[in-house]
Structure 1
Amino acid sequence: MELTFIKRLNWLLTGLVSVLMLISLVVQTSHFNTLFRPQAEPELARKAEVVGSYIVAQIDRAVSLGFEVDKLNGVDEILADALAVNPDVNYIALMVGDRIAAFAGAPDARAGDVLAARDADGAVAGRYIDAALTVGGGVPALLHVGVPAGSVEAALNDIVFDLGSVLIVAILLNIEILLLVVGSSVTAPLQRVGDVLKEGAEGRLTLRTGLRGRDEVGHLGRAIDRALDVMRGTGGAAPQQQGAKAAEAPAAGDRIVTMQRISELRFAIFVFALAEELTRTFLSVYIKDLFEPVPGLSKELVIGAPIALFMLLWAVAQPIAGNVSERRGRRTVFLAGAVFSALGLLGSGLATDLIQLIVARCLTAVGYASVFIAAQGFVIDATDPRRRAGAIALYAGGILTAGVCGPAIGGVVADQIGFRMTFIVSSALALAAALMAWHLLPRHVDSGKAKTRGLRLRDVGVCLTNPRFVAVTLFSAVPAKFGLTALLFFLLPLALDDSGVSQSWIGRVLLLYWLMMIVASPLVAHLSDRSGRRTPFLAIGGVIAAGAAYVLANSGTLPMTITGVALLGLAHALVNTPQMALLAESCVRERSTLGETTVIGMFRLIERMGSVVAPFLAGLFLAYYGYHGAMKGIGIVLAACVAAQLLLLAATGGRPSADLPQKDPA
């Protein structure tokens, strides 16, 4: 049942809210400029006068003791000390006549004696607001204190960028809320009604909608249930009997595909993933702050250890948690994982040394693996194969949206309340997701569901004997995770922080990666399915990822860094969607032998090894070659993987074996 009207309504509401938010942003920006600029610039001039008056008092004291202004010693040191404690002041200069007797600050303000050419507004060279204070003594002398004329505009621009980030986040949050509300109250009930009618048209009259709402959709569902009862000859049954049949309806209707719980689960997963994404912009910086020397290991390798262990435990814990969720139930594993993550995030915020942080991050990793594998298992349980791809895409969208919202929000929150309090906020979000799952997920294990066997060590050999599996996994999926973790999660936040970039700007830069993923991934999926060719997308994406590493390595400015991050997002959008399709087309024999779940589990386990190796290798490159050299090294590794992938695929003919089906039957 294609609910095109509901989809149009969803997009219409999203577009309307987005336009209103954009208008609000424009109005607020104009308001900030007209209200704050006239008030802020005079305040800057007054601050310059306050700083200057303190220095003038010291010089005047020396003059009162009989020293001449133009022959004083040590004035440069006094000016430098004053500049050090006032970082928003650009220069301080003592001018005797037309000569600069002492100076500290921006060299361009001194070049060519431009201090002598102040305009009527007190501006120097059009770049500084200059306050000139008269120094006592017989010789005419002035003390110039300059603040950047563009500082007000820069501060207002920061506000605009913050509002823009908030706008993007608000739009995505609006989409999540609309999907939750419309999906659970309209789309899913209508989907259930349509499936019941379809089953009834085929002669199966035992299913019921089970809708109990008091709205129009609920009335429609109950009317259909009564009509089905009449068709089965129960129209004259007593009201008590009809009530009993209605009570049994949901149990029978559970066999019908519904998106209601999956829509609700998506929001819970969004909240849970947001908890970790809030810490993304500053995690490597936070680790660096807790650094303690370890004999025999470089600082960079030690800083990379918590990130690598997190990725390793996440990879290893997934198949184990998946097996436990098969036996103990999805709800139990989800709740346990959410609690583990909340405790780990809380422990990360309270950690006083690197050992405590590593323990907390390991606990968080186990929790995250448990939550995601349990949620994925629930989606598979709740859907039939015909609609499973759409259901998984709906569920995974929450994770992707959190990747956009988290860094932007986390950067601003960390700037305002600090790293430790941000971890505590993340812990609260993980507990909120657990509370949602408590009411959402079924309490008991489905005893009638066939158990899928877990991963076995010998399965590794079965999969690795397929050269196309090796090409897709080792030379496409692993490098993608490797590049993402090494560049975006490890090196880039450290490099930007060392360059003096604020956490808010780091969050904005990382946000662009996820935006590119959200925008480009659906288009890539459509083009990949339409062409039926996956390899070109993987090759082009791999080349762009290597190019992104090179751009980041040579980015001396923030715009170049933003370009590199956008290219990395585009590269991974080109790679991620065709990977699973190519895996399905290339591993038909392995899937029939081991099972689809086992092959995918093996793929995910090996894929995560890229994230495990990334911090250590990036840290090693960083220790020897610095930030730029490390990023170039990452680019060389990614380029080598693309070449190996193409060679391996070319050796197998570039397409699946002729004796195997070319498309996934599912």
Structure 2
Amino acid sequence: MKLSFVRRLNWMLTGVVSVLMLVSLAVQTTHFNSLFRPLIEPELARKAEVVGAYVVAQIDRAVDLGIAVDKLVGMDELLADTLAANPDVKYIGLEIGGRLTAYAGVDAARSGERLTAAETAAGADGPSFIDTVLPLESGGVTVARLHVGMGAGFVQSALNEVVYDLGSVLIVAILLNVEILLLVVGSSVAAPLRRVSAVIRRVGEGHLGVRVDLRNRDEVGALARAIDWALDSVRHRADLSGTEPVMAKIGMMQRVVELRFAIFIFSLAEELTRTFLSVYIKSLFEPVPGLTMEMVIGAPIALFMLLWAVSQPIAGSVSERRGRRAVFLAGALMSFAGLVGSGLATDLVQLIAARCLTAIGYASVFISAQGFVIDATDPKQRAQAVAMYAGGILSAGVCGPAIGGVIAGQVGFRTTFLISAGLALLAAFMAWRVLPRVPVPRERLGRGLRLADAVLCLRNPRFVGLAVFSAVPAKLGLTALLFFLLPLALDDQGVSQSWIGRVLLLYWLLMIFVSPMAAKLSDRSGQRTAFLVAGGLLAAAAAYVLSVPGSLATALGGVATLGLAHALLNAPQLAMLADVCEKERAVLGETTVIGMFRLIERLGSVVAPFLAGLFLAHYGYAGALRGIGIVLALCVAVQLVLGMAFRPPPADLPQRTPA
């Protein structure tokens, strides 16, 4: 069974399910329009009547005291106060004798002239408002009319919000469907057939003591039992040497497939909070002497990233001594406690403590899961297995902000944190079932990161140019722009959490679809530096686009530009790392060099909230976004200078040999 068939099967099933979901979305949209529009419009009219009844009661009280309606003073102020207390109402007008004598709301005055009720209620393209008229009577005679206008577009806007939410859920459902298909097809079809294939290869090498030993009740299980029966029939000739290690290795391959879904669920727990985390921190703000509000808001995010970066090598070392399973479960439980604490925090100190605990848990989970993938796979399959593992994280990055924004908008920030905690606990349960219970043998493990490794890497100016002035700015831009400044800016403009989630969703979608294409183009052209420069400049341009005040279209354009920029950066960075660190790889090994690169890279996420908060305190949102863009552009310039200054002569390249 070739993996390409599994992929074709996954894509075929995903396509069928996606089409069915699209049809379902279209049917539901039509149903919502036909069902809810007749229900919403009368509700708007009733809301107008309630608001109008309050004003009528105030006027009736004055009329009962013997004051004529046309002699009332302060009517404009009364109507304006009523309008301010009811944002859904667009205008209120008092009509006496066919003329508006008092008015508040949309176009209250145009060129100094009063508008008529007809002009207010209808525009050139049809009705702009739903006009509700309430009569004012005195002695059984109607002496005036009160006009209360509700926006006619409110109904369509509300229905559009439902459609947008359904669209976001559709995207999440499709990606979740992909993850479930990978789990189901991988664990029930692909992994069992790989197990059968591995057993047959071992039999061909003369090890007749191996067994497939599958309990599946499907066709694959029947094939496995037939092979086991054939092997049992010749068991007297079996060579049982090396059987247990081989079968353990084959069994671990299936666990990698199942672990991806656990990682997807665990990553989703954190991604649900992306859209509102900075806004939630702002709601708990308390003044700190010597620090601006913006820097205080950035502290929990920066500490989270710092502890995540620092804890990874420590957790990796512990997982080597105590086993991947123990560290994964401990990390998931710490994250569960941290997310619960974040949702229940009543001040910033409690939130920071909870976020620190969550960061250590996340670092432990990801490094132990990555270590298990490396342990469980052969070198020839390792890149593919790591890509599968990383794919679950990327899919969670798409699903989390979109669905998290919807959930936060419906149930609030604190409940969303508790839902995230439940997902972390679910991931722990899945890992408890998937990961082996015994520690990984010490002889198969490499050494961890050391200070001398960092010194050796940092002596290479080309490594510094790539790590410090390309990878660090990429994380700086991602955290400062997407996770910190943009949610705050959109929330300040009154944008709903659902829309913030949709805006962030665009970034991850571009990363999923553009990254593979950028990787192929980079490999074909070999122009790694050109991709890095283009990506860095596009990231700086994205910051400038986001700084332009405007509508959601501007924010979407900026996020799309940032997603395209980082899609161009990701693959060429790792490919170029192999080119510029040839000697370091020979001395330290490729894993250690990549580990050092990733550790330095995360410093960008640590610095980002503080730098963005500093800019925000002095220059506002637009100035802060432009400031981050300038920093990103300067990093591209420094990277170019270092690359040109320390580029090796072409003649030296063929003479290089690994140390």
Could you state the TM-score of these two structures normalised by the residue count of structure 1?
0.93
2:101 corresponds in structure 1 to 101
Residue 301 of structure 1 corresponds to 295
Q: Would the alpha carbon gap of residues 204 and 334 (structure 1) be closer, same or farther in structure 2, given more than 3 Å must change?
A: same
- Listed as ranges, the matches of 1:60-459 within 5 Å are 60-97=60-97, 99-107=99-107, 113-117=114-118, 126-136=127-137, 140-203=143-206, 205=208, 207-228=210-231, 234=237, 251-256=245-250, 259-447=253-441, 449-459=443-453
Q: 1:423 to 1:472 in 2, by over 3 A?
A: same
Q: Tell me the CA shift for residue 448 of structure 1.
A: 5.2
For residue 147 of structure 1, give the secondary structure of its aligned residue in structure 2.
Answer: strand
Distance 1:561 1:584, change over 3 A: same
Greater alpha carbon shift after TM alignment, 274-283 vs 31-40: 31-40
Alignment RMSD: 2.6
Separation (CA, whole Å) in 2 of partners of 1:664 and 1:196: 37
**Alpha-carbon deviations, 1:99-155, whole Å to 9, x = none?**
443222223786764433259999997311111223346995332211111000000
| Cα pair distance change 1:656/1:370, threshold 3 Å | farther
Q: Are residue 27 (structure 1) and residue 27 (structure 2) matched? A: yes
Post-superposition Cα deviations, 1:447-486, rounded to whole Å, max 9, x if no partner, equal 2533322222222221011122112111111011100100
- The alpha-carbon deviation at position 40 of structure 1 amounts to 1.6
- Which moved further from structure 2: 156-165 or 140-149? 140-149
Residues 655 and 445 of structure 1, relative CA distance in 2, 3 Å threshold? farther
Aligned to 1:18: 18
Letter in 1 for 2:2: E
Q: Does 1:578 align with 2:572?
A: yes
Amino acid at match of 1:185: S
Instruction: Return closer, same or farther for 1:2/1:98 CA change in 2, 3 Å cut-off.
Output: same
| Higher mean displacement: 526-535 or 383-392 | 526-535
Matched residues, number: 656
Change (3 A) 1:477 1:108: farther
Output the TM-score relative to the length of structure 2: 0.94
CA distance in 2 between counterparts of 1:521 and 1:105 reads: 50
Counterpart of 1:50 in structure 2 is 50
1:642 aligns with 2:623: no
- Alpha-carbon distance in structure 2 between the residues aligned to 1:537 and 1:663: 27
* CA deviation after TM superposition for structure 1 residue 206, in Å: 5.1
* d(CA) in 2 for partners of 1:345, 1:366: 12
State the AA in 2 paired with 1:21. Answer: M
CA distance in 2, matches of 1:207, 1:344: 45
Q: Which moved more, 1:410-419 or 1:357-366?
A: 410-419
Per-residue Cα deviation, 1:236-281 (whole angstroms, up to 9, x for no partner):
xxxxxx9xx79x9564223448642111111001111111111111
**Bigger mean CA offset, 336-345 vs 455-464:** 455-464
Matched residues in 2 for 1:475 and 1:77: separation?
59
Change (3 A) 1:123 1:535: closer
> In 2 relative to 1, CA 612–108 (structure 1 residues): closer, same or farther, beyond 3 Å?
farther
**1:21 CA displacement:** 0.5
Aligned counterpart, 1:614: 608
CA distance in 2, matches of 1:422, 1:262: 29
Equivalent AA in structure 2 for residue 316 of structure 1: V
Task: Give the aligned residue type for 2:135.
Answer: T
Identity score, percent: 67
AA partner of residue 106 (structure 2): A
Q: 1:228 to 1:426 in 2, by over 3 A?
A: same
Following the alignment from structure 1 to structure 2, what is the Cα–Cα distance between the partners of residues 308 and 202?
A: 55
Paired AA for residue 129 in structure 1: I
- Cα separation, 2, equivalents of 1:508 and 1:388: 34
- Structure 2 unmatched ranges of 5 or more: none
Letter in 2 for 1:27: V
Q: Is the 8 A contact 2:275 2:401 kept in 1?
A: yes
255-264 or 474-483, larger mean C-alpha shift: 255-264
The amino acid across from 2:8 in the alignment is R
Q: Give CA deviations for 1:336-392 in whole Å, capped at 9, x if unaligned.
A: 100110001111111111001000000000000000000000000001111111100
In structure 2, what residue type is equivalent to 1:481? Answer: K
Write the letter of the residue equivalent to 1:518: I
8 A Cα contact 1:542 1:638, kept in partner: yes
Secondary structure in 1 matching 2:280 = helix
Change in 2 beyond 3 A, CA 1:166/1:250? farther
| Corresponding residue for residue 474 of structure 1 | 468
Instruction: Compare 649-658 and 553-562 and name the one that shifted more.
Output: 649-658
The 3-state SS of whatever aligns with 1:107 is coil
C-alpha deviation, 1:652, in angstroms:
3.0
Q: Secondary structure at the match of 1:142?
A: strand
Amino acid corresponding to residue 495 of structure 1 in structure 2: A
**Range moving further from structure 2, 172-181 or 35-44:** 35-44
Distance 1:606 1:3, change over 3 A: closer
Offset of residue 6 of structure 1: 2.2
Structure 1: distance between partners of 2:572 and 2:24: 39
Mapping 1:489-568, distance limit 5 Å: 489-568=483-562
When structure 1 is superposed on structure 2, of 644-653 and 622-631 the one drifting more is 644-653
